[in-house]
Structure 1
């Protein structure tokens, strides 16, 4: 029979016999003092084991202790994320047995995002228990989807979740690096471009950084609808100023500052001089006191011939 533990929590030691001659002497292992938690767990397990119900509880307690050491090993081994997934699945199963399985998910406000994409982002599966759905974390995950600007998640016990979302609106098409993407007003890329009829009438901006300043040029052109309808695309040059590509092939170079005034001056010139209808390739509005235009090659040749003929006529020579 083993000696019972004394008041100090240590077991009495038997005398250690002397080692045989010719062997190294090994010191006896000093037993580690039991922690207060270990002593309490031991006593609780012994007491619970005295009854039938207690034996089941004792088994659960033992599993919990073993599970605790397993989790400790998982943390040391660097498998925390996998362990969290397993732990959540186990917790969901326990919650479902208790009657808290999610049976109904109501989704509203979606148009471009499908219900399947919303459920996947929210992490809600057929085995999810409402007890372990964190509404704030779920909302944050939903708002990481490009189309979703804001979301709200509400839990109704025992088995219903309501998800309401507000989607971003397609504002313009942005071309950069050979790709065209649909962007929101704040410049957030929300979808790759497709031939969807909803995107055909969107304004087009081109260049690095153009998505961040798209609101400026779109709003400026919206105040001059007659001009806006003639613009094919707006190109941001060196992330400082815009050049308008007109549908008839003319480039309109706008100044870095005073863009609104330059656009109004352009409309005045077009009304009085039909400037946008002439055979020119570039209209430069970057100088505050003048407008510089560049003729097309054909127009430049025709003008050169006309000036040459006019000069000869003044000298009285043959044309």
Structure 2
């Protein structure tokens, strides 16, 4: 006789199979349908695992040494190729003396690899030379290091306590010289602070051009103003401001009255409203004699 009570196991076995997926399986299927999840699983995850494995493998000292050797060999083979070898240096825009100084400053032993050159560093080093205003350094395919130079043009000679210097029109030093007659074609300035007032000095030399060889030099006084020194003539004391205008007026008097040919030692233009002159010994004696003669006539 069969029992009327069945166990749960028998009930589950007797129940028909449900084809619907479980809740977890359903969610996993939905996630797999997402393009982002599928890309992460099929592409990103394998790459990450591969990189992690390579990182573990490459972190060993023996592997690091091996890879370093490989890189060095590859770099050396590339640098040794003929198209990357610099065999000469071409300098343009410089005088022979300056070109030799540039080659000595760069100091490269050719041939040298293109990868061992730093044009920016070479340029920064060369621009420190006094005679160079601008410089461009380029590496050309075919094996040439080209240095294009714009050289400073000396415009004036500055005599200072330490010697003679050539300056350009802005007052920047160009070179040292041993003797004045080495550049007798250039005007001469003296005194402390003369280099800072070169543009004004050049304008004064231009205004005094009619004096020619009589003009010896401009002397800086107190780093504030100029004195103009003439050969066998008076010293012209110029004002601190508007020195060019004061000199133009004095040159007009020179043209009209031949002022500088008279027996005077100083022409004082420091006060533009009251220019004055200091007479020489003979002129003072003549003036005194004239005054005495005038006073003698007045007493009669």
TM-score, normalised relative to structure 1: 0.67
Q: C-alpha displacement at 1:112, in angstroms?
A: 5.7
Distance 1:306 1:94, change over 3 A: farther
Report the count of equivalent residues. 244
Partner of 1:166: 150
Matches within 5 A, 1:115-154: 115-126=99-110, 128-154=112-138
RMSD: 3.1
Q: C-alpha displacement at 1:262, in angstroms?
A: 0.9
**Distance of 2:212 and 2:108 partners within structure 1:** 46
For the pair shown, the structure with the greater C-alpha radius of gyration is 2
Q: C-alpha displacement at 1:243, in angstroms?
A: 0.9
Partner of 1:10: none
Any idea what the Cα deviations from partners look like across 1:119-161, whole Å, max 9, x if unmatched? 2223422353222111111111111111111111111235211
Matches within 5 A, 1:191-206: 191-195=175-179, 199-206=183-190
Partner of 2:63: 45
Distance 1:42 1:244, change over 3 A: same
Contact 1:107/1:164 (8 A) holds in 2: yes
Distance 1:108 1:194, change over 3 A: same
TM-score, normalised relative to structure 2: 0.71
Within the alignment, does 1:293 sit opposite 2:277 as a pair? yes
Distance 1:284 1:93, change over 3 A: farther
Within the alignment, does 1:274 sit opposite 2:258 as a pair? yes
Contact 1:122/1:139 (8 A) holds in 2: no
Q: Which runs of 5+ in 1 are unaligned?
A: 1-35, 49-56, 65-91
Q: C-alpha displacement at 1:113, in angstroms?
A: 3.6
**Distance of 1:234 and 1:194 partners within structure 2:** 20
**Distance of 1:94 and 1:180 partners within structure 2:** 53
Distance 1:194 1:95, change over 3 A: farther
Contact 1:185/1:214 (8 A) holds in 2: yes
More helix by share: 2
| 3-state SS of paired residue (1:245) | strand
**Distance of 1:94 and 1:147 partners within structure 2:** 40
**Distance of 1:103 and 1:146 partners within structure 2:** 28
Contact 2:215/2:230 (8 A) holds in 1: yes
Q: C-alpha displacement at 1:106, in angstroms?
A: 1.4
Within the alignment, does 1:207 sit opposite 2:225 as a pair? no
Which of 57, 69, 93 is the matching residue for 1:60? 69
| 3-state SS of paired residue (1:308) | helix
**Distance of 1:231 and 1:125 partners within structure 2:** 50
Matches within 5 A, 1:92-111: 97-99=80-82, 100-111=84-95
Partner of 2:222: 238
Any idea what the Cα deviations from partners look like across 1:83-102, whole Å, max 9, x if unmatched? xxxxxxxxx99876444432
**Distance of 2:286 and 2:117 partners within structure 1:** 76
| 3-state SS of paired residue (2:105) | helix
Matches within 5 A, 1:64-83: none
**Distance of 1:93 and 1:149 partners within structure 2:** 37
